[in-house]
Structure 1
Amino acid sequence: MQKSFIVIIGIALATVGGLYSLPKVVVNDEKKTLEQPNKETTTGSANRDKGVKEETPQVTESHTESLSKEQQTVIDNLKGVYTKASGKGKIKPAEDLINQFVKYTRYDSAAYYADEIVKIDPSENNLMKAGGLYYEAFTYALQSDKTVKMGEKAREVYQKVLDKNPNNLLAKTNMAMTYTATQTPMQGITMLREVIAKEPDYEPALFSLGILSIRSNQFGKAVDRFKQILKNNPANSKAALNLGYCLAELDRKEEATQILEKVLKNSQDPQEKAAANDILSKLH
């Protein structure tokens, strides 16, 4: 089910970060440390489960396609407005640029302008927006050096958020996931455990742990995570899709079919529906 796995991970990225390119050490450490207290991490059960310049930023994009001429014209016009503005007057044109870059999936460029807004108004809300966009750029980076750079920027911004508000669990969760792609992945896993200890039903952290379990082929553990999410939020179609995938990998075909058919019925996301259909086609 490699195709389905790729689609599922792609769908999950916006929620949990660049897991599809996680270094192998993350998988191993997640097995040994995060899940070790549970008996399911023994060898037998693991095998069973496997069943820049301020006015003219030089932003390097890592994308397979360049902006079209029409798109570039839109951006150039918005940059012109931004450049002519000053002080707080830059916030609105910066927001317009952010919205357009997000529309074009240029998250690194969007993050640059979000960071510029933070320089003018370093509120928690603005910091979270900048951190979220750097996190998206980290998630979708196609080059390892870009992943590292965007991860560093995301952590820098999220740390500022946590300095203001140590109880911002989303900042801590996303920051944790950027650490899982570094040379110190356990720092991120420890942070996720701290989030769960503080709020056991916190969805972003549970989802992150579920995806990490998928990456380490611990499908039984992942099932527990996604079921916990759905117990509190039955409408979470991403959790349902991942649950269906894990059940299929465990050869629990009937349960997987029921879950995936619900995804097809309830989800409004074409990618989720396509992934669900692909998994279902492998079950019959």
Structure 2
Amino acid sequence: MTKLQYAVIAAALLLLLVLRFGCETKAPNMKGLEKSRSLVAQNTDINVLLPAAKDSLEANDVALIEALEDELARQSSDTAKVAVLKRLAGEWYSLGNAVISGHYAQQIAELLNTEESWSIAGTTFALALPGLSDPVVKDFAASRASKAFENAISLNPEELSHKINLALVYTDNPPQDNPMKGILMLRELNDSNPDNPAILVQLGRLAMRTNQFDRAVERLGRAFELDPSLTEAACMLADAYNALGDKAKANSFAEKCTQ
């Protein structure tokens, strides 16, 4: 499997965050944000989210965050600012708040303006989305994620992983005026890259969500044929065949899933 194809797999994205921000690999459950006061403002921004997130922290965590904020304010060079911003992003992620972590990742990207930094910012916001229940905060994170991936694409239009990740943001958080946007983007990517396992896996996942198990088997089977190391595809194939009543194939792929 190529670097491109691995780029959209969640485990690789989490690893990227670990390597860059030095944060723990636990899922962002957003416990701080969800326990904070209800955010009902129509135009939520970081000036609302950050104080709310701090309110839910333990005193020692607040002290550490504020010490890093003070350290950031004292920096004059971009290099020094980036170093502190990475620590802030990592601390907030380890505290379970990927939205605030994404805010600092975005600041890093604004300073560096590199394809990788924008991809990390987009990924951080995207990782926050499944754990958010407040629609206003979710819309905030989704819009920041999509903008970050768009910036990454503008810097390297040939990198498919950014386009796939952007499509996934729209798929999981469809715009009200265009609910099919993400799905159509994935289909267009598939039309131009019919043998890309990463795209096929995502299309297979969508088919599973809508109980189109025959379609899921077709797409996931092709992805697994192209890359037999795709454990994710094997696991979903086991579920798809099980739903179709083919126990033999379901068991076969279940074994591959656990390997």
Q: For this structure pair, what is the TM-score category when the shorter chain's length is used for normalisation?
A: 0.7 to 0.9
Distance 2:137 2:224 in 1: 34
**Which residue, out of 141, 144, 156, partners 2:135?**
144
2:175 maps to which residue?
182
Alpha-carbon offset, residue 71 of structure 1: 4.5
**SS state of the match for residue 58, structure 1?**
helix
Letter in 2 for 1:157: A
Deviates more, 1:130-139 or 1:244-253: 130-139
Letter in 2 for 1:198: S
Residue 113 of structure 1 aligns with which residue? 104
Structure 2 match to 1:84: 74
- Residues 1:58 and 2:59 are matched in the alignment: no
- Mark the CA change 1:207 to 1:102 in structure 2 (over 3 Å): closer, same or farther: farther
Asked whether the equivalents of residues 247 and 256 of structure 1 are also in contact (C-alpha less than 8 Å), the reply is: yes
Match of 1:259 in 2: 253
- In structure 2, the CA distance between the partners of 1:59 and 1:256, relative to structure 1 (3 Å rule), is farther
Match of 1:101 among 92, 108, 118: 92
- Structure 1 residues 220 and 13: CA distance shift in structure 2, 3 A: farther
Distance 1:104 1:131, change over 3 A: same
Structure 1 residue 126, shift from structure 2 partner = 1.0
CA change 1:87–1:231 in 2 (3 A) is same
Tell me the amino acid that sits aligned with residue 135 of structure 1: A
CA deviation map 1:23-58 (0-9, x unaligned): xxxxxxxxxxxxxxxxxxxxxxxxxxxxx579x972
- Gaps (5+ residues) in structure 1? 1-11, 17-51, 267-284
Contact 1:158 1:171 in 2 (8 A): yes
TM-score, length-scaled by structure 1: 0.66
Shift of 1:186: 2.0
**Whole-angstrom CA distance in 1 between matches of 2:250 and 2:165:** 29
Q: 1:250 to 1:57 in 2, by over 3 A?
A: closer
Find the residue that maps to 1:166 and give its secondary structure.
coil
Provide TM-score, normalisation by structure 2: 0.72
Q: Percent identity?
A: 26
Q: 1:201 to 1:103 in 2, by over 3 A?
A: farther
RMSD: 2.7
- Give the AA of the match of 1:146: V
Provide structure 2 residue ranges, at least 5 long, that are not aligned to the other structure.
Answer: 1-8, 14-44
Query: Which residue identity lines up with residue 251 of structure 1 in the other structure?
Result: G
Contact 1:14 1:136 in 2 (8 A): no
Counterpart CA distance in 2 for 1:230 and 1:71 is 44
Distance 1:131 1:59 in 2: 22
Return the offset for 1:77.
3.8
Aligned residues: 214
